[in-house]
Structure 1
Amino acid sequence: MTANLRIGVLAGCGGAGASVLAAVLACCGAARAGQAFLIDCDPVGGGIDVLLGCERAAGSRWSQVRLGGGDLDPAVLRDCLPSWHQVSVLAVDDPNSLDPAALLQIMAAAALAGPVVLDLARWPSPIRTAALSCCDLTVLVTPAEVRAVTASAAIAQGLDPARTVLVIRGSAPSLPAGRIGALLGLAVLGELPHDAASRQPGGLDPRRLRRGTRQVAEAVLSRCAIAVRPERVVAA
């Protein structure tokens, strides 16, 4: 079951491709579970709806979020958000509108209906702290470049290695994946290829994704399902 999985994705440096992976994860999660949620938590990312090409789609963005007391109905949440390939998308349109308390309420509702993927900012903030506290698995994305790995090391220090995996973008014979994982102290889950589907004029088109991109996303979903299984069994 992929429903109830909560996955955070963040980049070790600018341009690593974390937002693309977050979108692909949500799309693959929706294909498994019938629906998924993609929540933008990066105040300076420019809005993940722009990356997807659904910035003109009807639906609420962060600045329109108004939550009262009580539980949020997952169906209401789904219906009020823009839809992209069976993924309900909550995008940032105003950096000041991100609310950690609202995020926790939204995540709780969304996780009742399907996988939840969060596109996180690199640096610590109240919204990122709230998100990481709820994620079953965190994915750190770093290019296979010396400068990128150096920057990623600073980000990795603030993450829980027991609940974090590393995805490497591209490859470099002089800097193999195993070496990068050892430097960052994180398990390497896969290598993400450079994918032209993320640079289409109309936004990210999941039908044009490279097979390697989908394989990494499926590996993340499967790893997350395994990670949460013992906790859910004990809770039952």
Structure 2
Amino acid sequence: MEHARSATVVGVVGAGGGVGASTFAALLARRLSRGTATALVDLDPAAAGIDVVLGLEDADGARWPDLRGAGGDVPGADVLALLPRWGACAVLSADRTRPEPVDAGVRVDVLHALARTLGALVLDLGRGAVVEGDAPLPACDAVVVVARPDLRCVAGALALRPRLAASGAPHGLVVRGAGPAGLAAADLADATGLDVWHAGRDDRGLAARAERVGLGGRGPATRAAEAVARRLPAGGIGW
């Protein structure tokens, strides 16, 4: 069944662990929320929860386990009313204290509801789910692969590429920093066959700043999110 939707849906996935994909997804969602109603959705079952990244782990509001009964034709406004906020952005996170998986059908119905209600939806995807074909790539208007220019991310991006190509969604690399062996963003693009959507310096102080005062500022990661936001297509029809 297809559902008319208004949201621009953007998937974000890391080419490897520790490349900052969740941080980038959060900054992209925050940037989009300046212009339209936006939600950041945690779809990485291996992570501790995007709420931890944002400093919202103690904030009131629903997490995925609280929505287990939300199957069927879910009113998106009702879901939004339950979610914690990070500034103007709604956040649907996993719960580190309740790691049990949510039924795939419920997950799809909730995403349908949000996509019908919002202007933008940013999905923080698990790399394993993308490789295994369990991530909602066909629903995305664009997919961002966050990577560093190193051999580990070359291998990771190559593992993602068949699923990205099959999805039909535009996809590209956001490359952070320089590689330890002198590799650059162009080398990563040549090795993987993926276009570079943005390449910038590594924001080495980002993690420390986030611990102290939360994500924000005008560093390289924020500039990367702004660059990607400018090139996103408008939302489509169907899921």
5+ residue gaps, structure 2, are 1-5
**Offset of residue 146 of structure 1:** 2.3
The alignment's C-alpha RMSD in Å is 2.5
In structure 1, C-alpha distance between the alignment counterparts of 2:43 and 2:200, rounded to whole Å = 22
Match of 2:145 in 1: 140
**Could you say which residue in structure 2 is the equivalent of 1:181?**
189
**Alpha-carbon distance in structure 2 between the residues aligned to 1:29 and 1:79:** 19
In the alignment, is residue 107 of structure 1 matched against residue 111 of structure 2? yes
Distance in 2 separating the partners of 1:68 and 1:41:
17
Post-superposition CA distance 1:159-196 (Å, at most 9, x none): 22752111111124832212211211111000243332
Task: Name which of structure 1's ranges 6-15 and 187-196 shifts more when overlaid on structure 2.
Answer: 187-196
Equivalents in 2 of 1:192, 1:58: separation in Å?
A: 35
- Measured against aligned partners, the alpha-carbon deviations of 1:68-91 in whole angstroms (never above 9, x if no partner) come to 432x22321211011111111111
Instruction: Give the structure-1-normalised TM-score.
Output: 0.84
**For 1:54, what is the secondary structure of its paired residue?**
coil
Residue 155 to residue 61, structure 1, CA distance change in 2 (3 Å): same
Of the three residues 186, 190, 195, the one matched with 2:198 is: 190
Please give the residue correspondences for 1:135-174 in structure 2 after superposition, counting only pairs within 5 Å.
135-160=140-165, 163-172=170-179, 174=182
Q: 1:50 to 1:180 in 2, by over 3 A?
A: same
CA distance in structure 2 between the aligned counterparts of 1:125 and 1:213, rounded to whole angstroms: 23
Q: Which runs of 4+ in 1 moved over 6 A?
A: 125-128
Q: State how many pairs are aligned.
A: 224
Cα distance, 1:24–1:127 mapped onto 2, change above 3 Å: farther
Supply the AA of the counterpart residue of 2:149.
A
1-structure distance, mates of 2:134, 2:16: 18
So what's the TM-score if we normalise by structure 2?
Answer: 0.83
Question: Does the residue aligned with 1:57 lie in a helix, a strand or coil?
Answer: coil
Distance in 1, Cα, partners of 2:32 & 2:156: 29
Task: Give % identity.
Answer: 32
Q: 2:49 aligns with which of 41, 47, 59?
A: 47
Q: Contact (CA 8 Å) 1:16, 1:143: kept in 2 or not?
A: yes
Q: Does 1:205 align with 2:207?
A: no
The within-5 A match list for 1:1-236 is 4-33=7-36, 35-65=37-67, 66-70=69-73, 72-93=74-95, 94-111=98-115, 112-124=117-129, 129-160=134-165, 163-172=170-179, 174-195=182-203, 196-199=205-208, 200-202=210-212, 204-206=214-216, 208-210=217-219, 212-225=220-233
Partner Cα separation in structure 2 for residue 155 and residue 125 of structure 1: 7
In structure 2, C-alpha distance between the alignment counterparts of 1:67 and 1:126, rounded to whole Å: 27
Q: Contact 2:42–2:124 (CA<8 Å) still a contact in 1?
A: yes
The Cα shift of 1:113 comes to: 1.8
SS in 2 for 1:60: coil
Q: Distance in 2 between matches of 1:46 and 1:189?
A: 28
Instruction: Kindly provide the amino acid, as one letter, of the partner of residue 201 in structure 1.
Output: E
